[in-house]
Amino acid sequence: MAPQFSSRLLADTNTQPPLRVQVAQGIQPTYSIDAGIDGEIFPAMANFASLQRPNDRDFGTLTVTVSNSSPAVLNARVSVSVYGWSDTEIQNVSIGSGEIRKLLFAPVFLPRFYANREIIAATAQIKVTDSSNRLLHSETVPVRLRSVDDIYWGKDFKYAPFIASWVTPHDPAVESVLTRAKEFMPGRRLPGYEDWKTADQQRTTTNEEARAIYRALRETGISYVKSSLTFGRNAGISERVRMPADSLQRLSANCIDGVVMYASLFENLGMDPVVVLVPGHAYVGVRDAAESDSYLYIETAITGRASFDAAVKAASTRLAKIPEKDIIRIPISIARLSGIYPMPVPGQDIRHFPADESSADAFPSGR
């Protein structure tokens, strides 16, 4: 089973045919606002949407539906924010008489959003003004912000590509593991792929690098801890996934935690990792040579208690027994081309430096 790559990741789309509403004299335009998935905002999805230009978005963190039942064209300035949690995004629109328009908003969230570890209540606000800045409409709606660790898989893992948001190759904790791993390599080098080598030579090096990374992780004392419990709606198709830095700090990781951790290490080296989802489990793979169609697969869940060779054998043996239709492969390089980048890490990303006082004063406290 192949995940859905490209920008068409969610249902709302700017390419839907225009909707119409009956026009009547004396009737004013109406507005409604919807947030995230069933009123819940997932950080990985919000980050993805905020990186898109409004006209390029296929879904919004917040969707405002405007129904213009009036006989006149509506020229308006629509602004949306989440109190205390996001910037304000503004869109200038012109909506014809009798037209229904969906406006897709994805305001940039503040650092605290990506530091939040539990589901929490917040308030979204919409303001509509005309060209003279006269207020036409103002409304607030309650929303729920999911933990930064929560991924929404969706039905049949439709949104599985978002797992690439947890692959964080530039995290200092990831760099630290590679610093240890190079000590287990010939010449103390972790070169990734080298184009001057033959395919067979690259495969040998890839195996050596994977073995060195495995050993470095094993020597940290990391081991398996199941910790996928999450709260909120759609609990059956969402899950807690630790960020690699979290796993490395706590020396604990379940299968998907380990997969994104290994994938971060391989991507840092310029290699091509793949996240492999199978019923009830996950594996990591890495392309064994730059132009190769074959991968080296690793069972990450046994890092703390088995040899590298045993982990490779366990992964390849299990995958060989699973029908291809039941396997979802998510190449991280393809996810990046689709616009799915690592989630910001507060304190490690220039976008998350503290705002100055004038900016902070613009946002009332969240609920």
Question: Which pLDDT tens digit goes with each residue over 22-70?
Answer: 565 567 889 999 999 999 999 999 999 999 998 899 889 999 999 998 8
Query: In terms of C-beta density within 10 A (0-12 exposed, 13-18 middle, 19 or more buried), how is residue 164 classed?
Result: buried
DSSP letter at 230? -
Inform me whether the pLDDT recorded for 3 exceeds 60. no
Helix (H, G, I), strand (E, B), or coil: what is residue 103? strand
Pairing between β-strand 252-253 and β-strand 223-224 as defined by DSSP bridges: parallel
Helix (H, G, I), strand (E, B), or coil: what is residue 235? helix
Inform me whether the pLDDT recorded for 13 exceeds 50. no
In the predicted model, what is the mean pLDDT of residues 288-313? 96
The residue length of the chain stands at: 367
Whether the full predicted model's pTM is greater than 0.85, yes or no, is yes
Inform me whether the pLDDT recorded for 113 exceeds 70. yes
**What is the number of alpha carbons within 13 Å of residue 158 lying toward its C-beta?**
9
In the predicted model, what is the mean pLDDT of residues 126-151? 95
> Could you tell me which of 23, 90, 22, 21 has the C-alpha nearest to residue 62?
90
Q: Which stretches within the chain are classed as H helix?
A: 43-50, 111-115, 172-181, 199-220, 244-250, 255-268, 308-321, 332-337, 357-360
- CA angle (247, 253, 259) in 5-degree steps: 95
Placement of tokens 């103390």 in the chain? 188
> Could you tell me which of 314, 298, 335 has the C-alpha nearest to residue 213?
298
Token pair belonging to 50: 């905020």
> Could you tell me which of 156, 181, 359, 147 has the C-alpha nearest to residue 262?
181
pLDDT at 354: 45
Helix (H, G, I), strand (E, B), or coil: what is residue 278? strand
E-strand stretches of 132-181: 135-145, 150-152
Placement of tokens 């909707």 in the chain? 19
Token pair belonging to 297: 């697969």
d(CA 174, CA 269): 11
What proportion of the chain, given as a percentage, has pLDDT over 70? 87
pLDDT at 330: 98
Residue 278 CB: number of other CB atoms within 10 A? 17
